[in-house]
Amino acid sequence: MPQPSMLDLKAPHCPTIFYRPIQPSDIEVLEQLHGHLFPIRYESEFFLNVVNGNNIVSWAAVDRSRPDSESDELVGFVTARIVLAKESEIGDMLRYDSSRADQTLVYILTLGVVESYRNLGIATSLIREVIKYASSIPTCRAVYLHVIAYNDPAIHFYKKMLFDCVRMLPNFYYINGQHYDSYLFVYHVNGGRYPCSPLDIVTAVATYLKRVFKSLAARLWKNEGKLPKWPKCKETSCLLKTQNKRIITTENSGYQCV
């Protein structure tokens, strides 16, 4: 009898998931899963680079509770590559030392899990492997990726993993003669962060003024017996409320999906 396809697998009640690098023996299943899970068609060279580790790092999820002959077959995967920060499309969105040519990022290429093995935490574990790997590289400042705009489950997943949706890219994908928008997600590591924004400046100024006001109020309280009492300053109170309202509004309109 013909063997069932990897796509027809049924996960046991309590699978034993093990994670390892993708290896040359995985290439057939890897191509099959990519062809089934993604609308984009990948060239053979891509799969050869993945399984041989040519400028691509990868992790495979396998179910060791399956029969011995199938216990090392992929039920999930993630692929990624290292890129130079100064040459990436998000270099303008990061605060890093541009004078250092070795500043890098990790770009996630593909992530997939066999349908019957979803909602078991496999995708979460695979992404955590990527984040751990990126964090282990001293020169790395962020992990980033693209998600096609209609893929709501993936958008929700990366938000849950604390990735920031920082930009919408119109017509980023061209699939079967049609353009699709994309969202750009970023996760900072090793102290990487965004450049100083207007919100950062407003927040810093507001914090400074609050400290000055508290210090002044403490001095006035201490010298209350020596100086005449001041009437309550309604204008100052109103100004502070207005500033706080603006800060909240600015935060709410920060890096969000469009």
Per-residue pLDDT of 49-94, as tens digits, reads 999 999 999 999 999 999 988 999 999 999 999 999 888 877 766 6
Q: How confident is the model at residue 201 (pLDDT cuts 50, 70, 90)?
A: very low
The CA distance from 228 to 6, in Å, is 84
Q: Where are the domains of the chain?
A: 6-188, 198-252
The CA distance from 55 to 144, in Å, is 16
How far, CA to CA in Å, does 137 sit from each of 22, 160, 189? 20, 24, 9
| CA-based nearest residue to 16, from 69, 51, 67, 79 | 67
Per cent of the chain over pLDDT 70 is 70
CATH superfamily label, 6-188: Gcn5-related N-acetyltransferase (GNAT) (3.40.630.30)
DSSP letter (8 states) at residue 174 = E
Q: How confident is the model at residue 236 (pLDDT cuts 50, 70, 90)?
A: very low
Q: What is the mean pLDDT of the chain?
A: 80
How far, CA to CA in Å, does 145 sit from each of 38, 142, 191, 213? 15, 10, 19, 44
- The one-letter amino acid at 147: V
Q: How confident is the model at residue 8 (pLDDT cuts 50, 70, 90)?
A: low
- The one-letter amino acid at 220: L
- The one-letter amino acid at 108: I
DSSP letter (8 states) at residue 150 = T
Q: What is the pLDDT of residue 95?
A: 58
Q: Find out whether 192 and 98 touch, Cβ atoms under 8 Å.
A: no
Q: What is the SS3 string spanning 5-46?
A: CHHHCCCCCCCCEEEECCCHHHHHHHHHHHHHHCCCCCCHHH
Rounded to 5 degrees, φ, ψ at 47 are -65, -35
Q: Look at the alpha carbons of 177, 77, 187, 249 in this order and tell me if their dihedral is positive or negative.
A: positive
Q: Which residues pair with 95 in a beta bridge?
A: 193
The reply to whether the predicted model has a pTM over 0.85 is no
The CA distance from 203 to 79, in Å, is 38
